[in-house]
Chain A
Amino acid sequence: SAVISQKPSRDICQRGTSLTIQCQVDSQVTMMFWYRQQPGQSLTLIATANQGSEATYESGFVIDKFPISRPNLTFSTLTVSNMSPEDSSIYLCSVRTGAHSGNTIYFGEGSWLTVV
């Protein structure tokens, strides 16, 4: 398994501001993912963060709104830009362990953002 730490764990943000969420993994991983869970909803993939290349965004998510950095194999950041109340969610970092497909994807504790 992997130990995944996220910061901040919780924050209250003002409308129009931006916040960067950090994700630290205790081992080197090739693929890191960022998910979002809005209140009462399921988990939705925002983007896949690959080291050494641009992040790959899912439909409905754009780099200008959710810029991602992946400077090395153990760390990634997700920025939520120009926040609105609709961005109030839990943001989750996840990693896939192992070199072969089918290995388990583990999640961090999440970052709970409330936009006021």
Chain B
Amino acid sequence: DQQVKQNSPSLSVQEGRISILNCDYTNSMFDYFLWYKKYPAEGPTFLISISSIKDKNEDGRFTVFLNKSAKHLSLHIVPSQPGDSAVYFCAASALQGAQKLVFGQGTRLTINP
């Protein structure tokens, strides 16, 4: 039972353009969402989060959008830079639970010069 899904295992974007990473979830109890960036053999690095009371959160080049009715969120990176090449994980948690995170499978983003 995959409660958090990232249906695109990989994405290739040209430098300077917008990268859009998508994530879907099935558990309606989830109300806090996070995006992490991960390089091989390293721990995930927190990027940005959003709670269910918002539909958008922005931090520099990163913006996360949440569509609760569709149970869908997306991460926009603009402009994309070569250093953004990594695996991006979407994660979800329920505030009333133990705040443990449920992760998607990840999307490998490659930024081409």
CA distance A103 to B32 in the complex (A): 9
| Interface size class, chain A | 20 to 34
Closest to B41 in A: A112
Against A, the Cβ 8 Å flags (1 = close, 0 = not) of B87-113 are: 001010101101111111110000000
B43 and A42 contact, CB distance less than 8 A: no
B-chain residues with CB within 8 Å of residue A94 when the two chains form the complex: 101
Interface contact B43-A107, CB-CB below 8 Å: yes
The CA-CA distance from A56 to B42 in the complex, in Å, is 25
B44 at the interface (CB under 8 A from A): yes
Complex contacts, B44 vs chain A, CB 8 Å: 43, 92, 107
Q: Could you tell me if B42 and A110 are in contact, using CB atoms closer than 8 angstroms?
A: yes
Do B98 and A105 have beta carbons less than 8 Å apart?
no
**Contact across chains for B95 and A43 when beta carbons are under 8 A apart:** no
A43, B36: Cα distance in complex, Å: 11
Select A106's contact among B46, B91, B96, B105, beta carbons within 8 Å: B46
Given contacts A31-B99, A45-B101, contact A108 B106 (CB under 8 A): no
Q: Does A56 contact B32, Cβ atoms closer than 8 Å?
A: no
In the complex, which range does the number of interface residues on chain B fall in?
20 to 34
Beta-carbon contact of B98 and A102 below 8 Å: no
Within 8 A of B (CB), among A84-116: 90, 92, 94, 96, 101-110, 112
Determine whether A48 belongs to the interface, using a CB cutoff of 8 Å to chain B. yes
Q: How far is the CA of A57 from the CA of B79 in the complex (A)?
A: 41
In-complex Cβ contact of A108 among B41, B43, B46, B103 (8 A):
B43
The answer to whether A56 touches B98 (Cβ under 8 A) is yes
Pick from A1, A45, A92: contact of B43, CB under 8 Å = A92
- Interface status of B51 (Cβ within 8 A of chain A): yes
